[in-house]
Amino acid sequence: MVKITLGLPKGSLNNIKRGNTYQLFVDAGYEMKGYEPEDESFEIQIVNDEDIKAFLTRPQSSPVELNRGMVDLAIVGEDWVKEESVLSDNDITKLGDLDYGQTRLIMAVPNDSPYENLTDFFRKNKNRDTPILCFTEYPNLTRKFMMQNKGYQEIYGDTVPLVQVRGLKDGNNDKVQVINSDGATEVYIAKGADLIVDNTQTGNSLKKAGLKELETILHSSAGLYAGVSCTGEKMEKAQLIFDQLYGAILARKYFDVKFNINNDIVKELTDYLIENKLCSDEPTINKGSTYSQVNVLIPKGKFPEMLYEIKKYGASSIIRSDVKQYVK
Ligand SMILES: Nc1ncnc2c1ncn2[C@@H]1O[C@H](COP(=O)(O)OP(=O)(O)OP(=O)(O)O)[C@@H](O)[C@H]1O
Ligand SMILES: O=P(O)(O)OC[C@H]1O[C@H](OP(=O)(O)OP(=O)(O)O)[C@H](O)[C@@H]1O
């Protein structure tokens, strides 16, 4: 089988508190070396799947690498895929969402600012002499968002805010400037910026910096994305990897429950479980001489309700286990 190259994220998406990609792979049945959080190596070994060649990648670099065929597949936040594709179409295909790394990209100002939203901000700053400064790691999305704003259009028409990425400048409206930040973005307000655009998750960083949200630009979470070089057999393999990862994600939401019930009550109980969606398709029944063992897969949140009800049917020897994989 052909080898597939996979970019695995460093930073927040491999942080035990924020988005533990390493644990996801372990839960999905992959044996990994060199990707333990805070002890990552540049090359990562997936010991029990030699068809995958994995590299540690900064999420903000993954879209470029996917677009240029440097990696076939990558786990990356949707925010970075969108930041990369603002100016031109890309050939990145989303295989699916992985249900972690949830953040919002927001625009923020100091807590004591008088602005209600970005339109209000532009209107109230209409006559100032100095340029409006906005710092962000996402200059493309920020500029696009500003240009779509009603207040911006009223004052600056279809001019393009100046974007500066280090020495490189682009745009024709130097009254509104979007400047690239490489991190610790919220601190720029204390240093004189008017606006920042940054990710928020718990809201702690904004609170610490004394900032409030003015606008939400987008919601993001981690996903598995395929690049231009991921075709044919590689795409088939990519799909299998997604199914395996998603199986582990789905499994986290379910319990595997077994219990014994008198044979006389099996029919009534089966109807109850199916009607109340307390099993996937139907309960598995293992019939004995007097008692049957019933086995169901149920969403975790439904367990207390089910326990209460099956006790009324006389259930005994109730066993609840975690599920490692659930591929529907
Ligand atoms: N606090 C957070 N919680 C969960 N996910 C986050 C958080 N901050 C950023 N992310 C997501 O993690 C991905 C990586 O973010 P990004 O590379 O900007 O920062 P980082 O994790 O600090 O990495 P680095 O230290 O390499 O800059 C992005 O897709 C982003 O949406
Ligand atoms: O809402 P919160 O839970 O506080 O998370 C949001 C913070 O997390 C990220 O920063 P990170 O800590 O990765 O550092 P950075 O700003 O240097 O990228 C992001 O850029 C925010 O600053």
Q: For position 201, what pLDDT does the model report?
A: 96
Atom of ligand 1 nearest to the CA of 183: 27
pLDDT tens digits, 96-137: 999 999 999 999 999 999 999 999 999 999 999 999 999 999
pLDDT tens digits, 157-215: 999 999 999 999 999 999 999 999 999 999 999 999 999 999 999 999 999 999 999 99
pLDDT tens digits, 268-301: 999 999 999 898 889 999 999 999 999 999 999 9
Q: For position 130, what pLDDT does the model report?
A: 98
**CB of 181 sitting under 6 A from ligand 2:** no
Atom of ligand 2 nearest to the CA of 185: 16
Q: For position 245, what pLDDT does the model report?
A: 97
Ligand 1 pocket, residues with Cβ under 6 angstroms:
10-13, 18-19, 58-60, 77, 79-80, 101, 103, 137, 183, 199, 201, 220
Q: In the β-sheet with 73-77, what is the strand arrangement from edge to edge?
A: 32-33, 43-46, 52-57, 4-9, 73-77, 222-226, 93-97
To the nearest whole percent, how much of the chain has pLDDT over 90? 95
Helices (H), 224-265: 232-251
Q: pLDDT-based confidence at 86, cuts 50/70/90?
A: confident
Q: If you average pLDDT over residues 303-322, what whole number do you get?
A: 95
Out of 13, 206, 219, give the residue to mutate to test ligand 1, the one with the largest number of ligand atoms within 8 Å of its CB: 13
Q: If you average pLDDT over residues 46-65, what whole number do you get?
A: 96
**CB of 87 sitting under 6 A from ligand 2:** no
For the chain, which domains are there? 4-102+221-251 (3.40.190.10), 104-218 (3.40.190.10), 254-322 (3.30.70.120)
Reading the block at residue 223, the tokens are 């996903």
Residue with CA at minimum distance from ligand 2 atom 9: 199
Question: Looking at the DSSP assignment, which residues form a beta bridge with residue 132?
Answer: 176
Query: How many other C-beta atoms can be found within 10 angstroms of the C-beta atom of residue 210?
Result: 13
Q: For position 59, what pLDDT does the model report?
A: 95
Q: For position 91, what pLDDT does the model report?
A: 85
| Average pLDDT along the chain | 96
What's the gap in Å between 254 CA and the centre of ligand 2?
31
What's the gap in Å between 258 CA and the centre of ligand 2?
43
What's the gap in Å between 201 CA and the centre of ligand 2?
8
DSSP string covering 155-190 = HHTT--EEEEETTEEE-SEEEEEEEE--S-GGGGTT
Q: For position 328, what pLDDT does the model report?
A: 81
Q: Are 194 and 133 in contact (CB under 8 A)?
A: yes
| φ, ψ at 241 (rounded to 5°) | -65, -45
Q: What angle do CA 221, 224, 226 make, to 5 degrees?
A: 135
Please give the Cα distance from 106 to 218 (Å, whole number). 7
3-state helix, strand, coil split of the chain in percent (to 5) is 30, 35, 35
Name the nearest CA neighbour of 182 among 137, 134, 135.
137
pLDDT tens digits, 35-54: 999 999 999 999 999 999 99
CA R_g for the chain: 26
Q: For position 147, what pLDDT does the model report?
A: 98
Reading the block at residue 8, the tokens are 């695995």
Q: If you average pLDDT over residues 57-81, what whole number do you get?
A: 96
Query: How many other C-beta atoms can be found within 10 angstroms of the C-beta atom of residue 74?
Result: 29
Atom of ligand 1 nearest to the CA of 221: 31
Per-residue pLDDT at 2 exceeds 90:
no
Task: Return the DSSP state at 263.
Answer: G
Q: If you average pLDDT over residues 1-27, what whole number do you get?
A: 95
**CB of 199 sitting under 6 A from ligand 2:** yes
Q: Quickly count helices (H) and strands (E) in the chain.
A: 10, 20
Q: 3-class SS at 243?
A: helix
Tell me what ipTM this predicted complex has. Answer: 0.95
Q: If you average pLDDT over residues 22-30, what whole number do you get?
A: 97
To the nearest whole percent, how much of the chain has pLDDT over 70? 99
Q: 3-class SS at 204?
A: helix
Helices (H), 252-327: 266-275, 303-312
Per-residue pLDDT at 87 exceeds 80:
no
Per-residue pLDDT at 307 exceeds 90:
yes
- Entry field: residues in the chain: 328
Please give the Cα distance from 195 to 22 (Å, whole number). 35
Query: How many other C-beta atoms can be found within 10 angstroms of the C-beta atom of residue 22?
Result: 23
> What ligand has the least distance to the C-alpha of 10?
1
